[in-house]
Amino acid sequence: MRLPRFFGKKRGHRRTGSQAWGSFGEAIFYAALVAAGVCFAGLLLSGAVGIGSDATAPAWSRWWLWAFTLLIPGALLAFGLAGVARTVRAWGKSEERRAAAEGISNLLESMGQSPGADRGHPGVPTCEDLVNSPGTILRYRLPIESPESWTLVGMGLFAVLWNAVLVVLAVGAGIDLLSGRIEWVLFAVLMPFAAVGIGGIVLFVRRLVLTTAVGTTQMEICDHPLFPGRSYDVLLAQSGSGVFRSIALTLEVEEMASFRQGTDTRTERVIVWRETVKEWTNLEITPGVRFETHVTVTIPAGAMHSFASAHNAVRWRIVVRGQPERWPGFVRVFPLIVYPATLTRSTAAGGLTLVDKVHR
């Protein structure tokens, strides 16, 4: 068993850390709103039941009271839950990807440079975030697209906060029950909250077991950015324990197009090219000893380079698909940047010469 590492990237100055902490803070804020909403609702419901039992008050006034008293916790809950959902959905995704998915990236009108484009290569995204972390064996360690450990933190945070509030309310209801009073409304409200709390714990435990049992996947590469027609040494390191029915490493090209018209916003992502670089079957990984292997990845000559504009993108990526014997399969994505092969002017007439011109 290997515990998930939240601070795996100790070297380099990649922005992953700060971005993740930003999301973490955001998640805490929204979760606190949810907790406040639940507490407030629980307390008000208890109080409102008391008011409702006042036979002297007319029925309509009781309903208005209910409506008004539930407005504030309802708003807190709605705002908090929406925020948590949005944070979880955006977790681990790049700013560009989120912007494209939400359709707000048109603020950066694409007249000229696309966001984050290389100055010498218009339309080609920069690879600054991919080359600022040195590898242990090869030159660079590639970042994973959706860090699982932070998803785990998000799920754990949600489960703990939600259930803490639930316990407070449940204790109150239990005390009432022991004293012979049964608050049916409070019980009715508690039931769905309890279901969500238990669901949160189940999802968190499942994710924890999956992450620790399957282990992390690391990828290192000998050079970056990549150029068509060239081959690169890649190190795959898979930790975990037990038997993996298969682990496949593929090289893929993804096209992404984001469209917004009228009330419709849609992002379409398709894989247009996939090559299985290598596949291992019935692989047994011993706890504490990770599986390490070198493979050669070749970018085909004449292949399209990485491209990113406000609403469209062509992305290269290495994908590891694993199928552990006892656990559900996993997919881990490592983005790459492929530059266009540049033709030197002096050799254009005589023959093709590829020149690695990198402008960072």
Partner 1 sequence: MNGSDESNGAARPAAPRISMQFDHPLRQYPVAADLVVLYEVEGVAPGSVRAVERSVLWYTEGKGEEDLGVHHFERLDDATHVAEALPTGTIAVRLPASPLSYEGVVVKIRWCVRIRLFFATGRDFVSEHVFDVGDIAPALGMVERLQ
Partner 2 sequence: MSEAAPDIMAGNPFSTRSIRPGRIPPLDGSGSPLCVAEMLVGLERCGGSAALVGPHGSGKTTLLWHLADALEARGCRVERVRLHGGRGAMSLIRALIRAARGSVVCIDSWERLGWPGALAARWFAALGGLRLLVTAHRPGLLPTLWMCRTSTALLTAIVERLPQAGGLSSSERDVQVADAFRRSAGDIREALFTLYDRFEDRARDRRLAGPSRS
What's the CA gap between 150 and 92, in Å, rounded? 8
Instruction: Please count the residues of this chain forming the interface with partner 2, following the rule CB under 8 A.
Output: 11
Which residue number, 110 or 323, has a Cβ lying nearer to partner 1? Answer: 110
User: Interface with partner 1 by CB under 8 A: which residues?
Assistant: 106, 110-114, 120-124, 252-260, 268-274, 302-305, 307, 309-314, 339-343, 345, 348, 357
Residue 262 partner contact from partner 1, partner 2, none using kind-dependent CB cut-offs of 5 to 8 Å: partner 2
Nearest to 76 by CA among 42, 111, 39, 34: 34
Name the one range near partner 2 by CB under 8 A: 97-105, 123-131, 339-347, 349-357.
Answer: 97-105
Residue (102 or 223) nearer to partner 2, CB? 102
Residue selected from 7, 54, 178, 264 as contacting partner 2 according to rule CB under 8 A = 264
Q: Which is nearer to partner 1, 124 or 159 (CB)?
A: 124
Q: Which does 102 bind (CB under 5 to 8 A by kind): partner 2, partner 1, none?
A: partner 2
| Least spacing, CB of residue 107 vs partner 2, in Å | 8
Q: Which of 236, 204, 202, 212 is nearest to 318 (CA)?
A: 236
Select from partner 1, partner 2, none the partner in contact with residue 265, using the beta carbon and a kind-dependent cut-off of 5 to 8 Å: partner 2
CB of 174 to partner 2, least distance (A): 40
Q: Name which of 105 and 238 has its Cβ closer to partner 2.
A: 105
Residue 102 or residue 176: which is nearer to partner 2 going by CB? 102
Residue with structure tokens 């993108």? 313
**Among 18, 136, 146, 265, interactor with partner 2 by CB under 8 A:** 265
Residues, the chain, total?
360
User: Using alpha carbons only, how large is the chain's radius of gyration in Å?
Assistant: 26
Instruction: Indicate which of partner 2, partner 1, none lies near residue 264 (CB less than 5 to 8 Å, by partner kind).
Output: partner 2
Is residue 228 close enough to count as binding partner 2 by CB under 8 A? Answer: no
Instruction: Among 12, 17, 52, 103, indicate the residue that binds partner 2 (CB under 8 A).
Output: 103
Q: Of the two residues 104 and 175, which places its CB atom closer to partner 2 in the complex?
A: 104
CB of 274 within 8 A of CB of 308? Answer: no
> Which is nearer to partner 2, 53 or 261 (by Cβ)?
261
Q: Does 273 bind partner 2 (CB under 8 A)?
A: no
> Which one of partner 2, partner 1, none is in contact with 29 (Cβ closer than 5 to 8 A by kind)?
none
Interaction mask 298-327, partner 2, x per CB under 8 A: ------------------------------
Q: Name the residues that contact partner 2, by CB under 8 A.
A: 102-104, 107, 259-265
